[in-house]
A and B are shown apart, each in its own frame.
Chain A
Amino acid sequence: MDGVVQLQKQLVDYIASLFHEGFLDEQFNQLQQLQDESNPDFVVEVVSLFFEDSERLLNELAKALWVPFRSSSSFFNPNILFREQETIDFRKVDAHVHQFKGSSSSIGAHRVQNVCITFRNYCEEQNVEGVEPWHRCLKCLQQVKHEYSLVRNKLETLFQLEKQIIAAGGSLPAT
Chain B
Amino acid sequence: MSSTNTENWMKDIGVLDLTGVGGGSTSAAKKITALVVDDDSVNQTIHSKMLENLGIQNQVVRNGKEAVDLHSSGNNFDLILMDMDMPVMNGIEATRKLREMGVRSIIAGVSTCTRDEREQKEFMESGLDDFQEKPLTTPKLVSILHKLNKKC
- Whether A and B are associated in the same complex: the answer reads yes
Q: How large is the interface on B (under 10, 10 to 19, 20 to 34, 35 or more residues)?
A: 20 to 34
Say yes or no: A102-B137 contact (C-beta < 8 A), given A33-B5, A36-B3, A36-B53: no
What is the minimal beta-carbon distance from A126 to any residue of chain B, in angstroms? 15
Closest B-chain residue to A36, C-beta based?
A: B2
Q: Does A19 contact B (CB under 8 A)?
A: no
Q: How far is the CA of A102 from the CA of B42 in the complex (A)?
A: 9
- The 8 A CB mask of B29-68 against A (1 = contact, 0 = none) is 0000000000011110110011001000000000000000
List A residues 5-54 near B (Cβ within 8 Å): 26-27, 30-36, 39, 42, 45-46, 49-50, 52-53
What is the minimal beta-carbon distance from B91 to any residue of chain A, in angstroms? 13
Query: Which of B3, B40, B50, B53 is within 8 Å of A103, CB to CB?
Result: B40
Contact partners of B14 in chain A: CB under 8 A: none
Q: Does A101 contact B (CB under 8 A)?
A: yes
What is the minimal beta-carbon distance from B5 to any residue of chain A, in angstroms? 6
Q: Does B152 contact A (CB under 8 A)?
A: no
Interface of B is mostly: helix
Q: Does B149 contact A (CB under 8 A)?
A: no
Closest A-chain residue to B41, C-beta based?
A: A49
Contact partners of B138 in chain A: CB under 8 A: 30, 33-34
Say yes or no: A53-B42 contact (C-beta < 8 A), given A34-B49, A36-B53, A102-B134: yes
Q: Does B112 contact A (CB under 8 A)?
A: yes
Closest B-chain residue to A116, C-beta based?
A: B112
Q: Does A107 contact B (CB under 8 A)?
A: yes
Say yes or no: A105-B134 contact (C-beta < 8 A), given A36-B53, A98-B85, A174-B1: yes
Q: How far is the CA of A106 from the CA of B135 in the complex (A)?
A: 5
Q: Does A99 contact B (CB under 8 A)?
A: yes
Listed A/B pairs (13) with beta-carbon separation below 8 Å: A27-B137, A30-B137, A30-B138, A34-B138, A36-B2, A42-B49, A46-B45, A99-B85, A102-B134, A103-B40, A103-B43, A106-B40, A106-B136
Please name the 3 residue pairs, one residue from A and one from B, whose CB atoms are nearest each other, closest first. A33-B2, A103-B42, A106-B135
Interface residues of A (CB under 8 A from B): 26-27, 30-36, 39, 42, 45-46, 49-50, 52-53, 95, 98-99, 101-103, 105-108, 174-175
Interface residues of B (CB under 8 A from A): 1-3, 5, 40-43, 45-46, 49-50, 53, 85, 112, 134-138
